[in-house]
Amino acid sequence: MFKNSKIYVAGHTGLLGSAFIRKLKEQRYSNIITRTHKELDLTNQNAVDEFFKKEQPEYVFLAAGLTGGIIANKTYPAKFLHTNISMQDNVFESAAKYEVRHLIFYGSSCIYPKNSPQPMKEEYLLTGIIEKTSEAYAIAKTAGIIACRAYNIQYKTNRFIALVPSSMYGHNDNFDPENSHVLSALIRKFHEAKAAGKNQVVLWGSGNPRREFIFSEDVADASIFTMLNAEKLENMHYNIGTGTDYSIKELAEIISEIVGFDGAVDWDTSKPDGAPKKLLDSSKFLKFAWKPSFALKEGLEITYQWYLNNFQQTRDGI
């Protein structure tokens, strides 16, 4: 991938997509293509085909997709399934038809079985029952990972690459209280409690589940690294994580300290926890000599500062 290669970033205004734009520009890539949802509906195959035919991108970062936390996944399962499968299938077909050099697709750690051995290795995919609250989204992401393999086999290429990052956070995250993931939801909840002078915050579940988090800038950096080293990869998906997980209680303590909220936390155990533990085994990817740059607290401080500067303009959920 050269500095003037034609690079299409799908979902460039979102959490991961905006990190790509910053990182690519920082590294002086000059030929970046973007389209808003209004300009290009990725669920429309004809529109996607016309776009690829006209623009002929050489490299594609497929960061577009519909995501959300437990509430959103339970409320809109059909929408999560249909939207994500439609988008990835349409882009895959056009990428194959117009012979892009490489495309990176992004899975999610929720693809692995709910009670998977820890840390989760790539080969644990499809070896057990997945968490019900994220079932539809996980099935769509699993389909994308299998599709990458299938296209490479059928067309005898290594065009399609699948990466599975741990839970991401950073600039342009979704802070909507109903549809956000746990980390961004906690930032907003603690901030609003502090601003309102409250002395207590109620959080869902027991606080015991453990999660691994990775800063979006690190995933963008790993993805560019992947494009530059694509010839070394096997036809499989690769986990990308930090190797360290935290309980939701620990995460809440770190975020409340960063925000400056010193009240009490009440855990509503009538609400679901989700999977008990999600820690990725990223050893297969890390052997290529890449490693993350941001520790969790550093990334959270940057994310909270972004939230303070932009929270009135943060994206709505579905």
User: Looking at the annotation, which residues are catalytic?
Assistant: 137
Which residue's structure tokens are 């030929």? 31
> How does DSSP assign 34-73, residue by residue?
---TTT--TT-HHHHHHHHHHH--SEEEE-------HHHH
Identify whether the C-beta of residue 92 lies closer than 8 Å to the C-beta of residue 43.
no
Identify whether the C-beta of residue 261 lies closer than 8 Å to the C-beta of residue 189.
no
- The residues, ordered by sequence, that sit 6+ positions from 122 with a Cβ below 8 Å of its Cβ are 164, 236, 237, 238, 239, 281, 284
Radius of gyration of the chain (CA): 19
- The residues, ordered by sequence, that sit 6+ positions from 135 with a Cβ below 8 Å of its Cβ are 73, 77
